[in-house]
Amino acid sequence: MLPSRPARLRRNPNHQGNPLVIRPIVPRIVDQVAAMLDPEEMENGARTVRACAQLPWEVRRNETADKINQCMRNFLRQSGCKKIIPIGASSSGGGTGSAFSILLAAALREPTFRSRALQGFPDGLLRTPVLFVVEPFYRAFANANDSNHISRIFANAMAFRIESEILERRGCFTSIYHLGLSGPSGGAVLDSEREVARVLGTSIYQYLKHWAGSIKPVKVNRPLFARYSGQDTPERVHERLHSTLINPSGNGQPLAS
């Protein structure tokens, strides 16, 4: 566990595996979030601070790749499949999930990390990840009295959207499915973690259930549509609203050109 003050990283002399690889980003993270690295507080996770999640990821990078390799070996023994498509589930507003989903997808495209994770396997075994993401609106409304907490949640969500869009264009994600879980009027439709987890799990279950019969044929035979292009920015909303007012249809939607 990292101490709080002074913030220093030291290799455990009793560690029997590979020595820890301290990447250049680690000292910068420690300098910025040193006050949050108290051993007792680290048990509570990242606390909506993405750097607190990135720190153990960077320090345990090689160990993470080894664990992925072990998981794939166990999975292949149980399933006997020829290809593995990683499916991730996360929230975009928390410090841990929004950071780990980005870091893992980027790492799987990095030659050093990928070769370690796929040691003993052909490169084609592991396909591009698919990600299901819960938007943080329900969490923000639940913490409406804490403006600082809300700001961090929305900042994480915005950072995730920017980074995931960049990674998707680089081929790090096949698709990213966003679950909003909020109503048009601004109220949260689902406001408990149990209900949100149920919707997220059901969405993934339905995706797996209908993958072979419905989803895969569509993805193979049609162009991909999951490209985030800023459709929810004020400029885009104004453009669509202006088009609707000029060319209304019977149901209030723009007429097809």
What pLDDT is attached to residue 185?
65
Write out the residue range of the structural domain in which residue 161 sits: 82-218
Residues 6 or more apart in contact with residue 138 via CB below 8 angstroms: 181, 182, 188, 189, 190, 191, 196
Q: How confident is the model at residue 163 (pLDDT cuts 50, 70, 90)?
A: very high
- What pLDDT digit, counting tens, does each position of 105-159 carry? 999 999 999 999 999 999 999 999 999 999 887 666 656 677 888 888 888 999 9
The residue among 2, 71, 79, 12 whose CA lies nearest residue 35 is 2
- What pLDDT digit, counting tens, does each position of 175-185 carry? 999 887 766 66
- What pLDDT digit, counting tens, does each position of 188-245 carry? 577 678 888 898 999 999 999 999 888 888 777 655 544 545 555 555 545 655 554 4
Residue at 62 is within a domain: no
Number of domains, the chain: 1
Residue at 21 is within a domain: no
Residue at 181 is within a domain: yes
- Radius of gyration of the CA atoms of the chain, in A: 21
Residue at 25 is within a domain: no
Residue at 148 is within a domain: yes
Dist CA 164 CA 35 (whole Å)? 29
What pLDDT is attached to residue 43?
81
Residue at 190 is within a domain: yes
Dist CA 144 CA 136 (whole Å)? 12
- What pLDDT digit, counting tens, does each position of 35-49 carry? 888 888 878 888 889
Residue at 117 is within a domain: yes
**Residues 127, 84: contact at Cβ < 8 Å?**
yes
What pLDDT is attached to residue 190?
74
Consecutive H or E run containing 212: none
Binning the chain into helix, strand and coil, the percentages to the nearest 5 are: 55, 5, 40
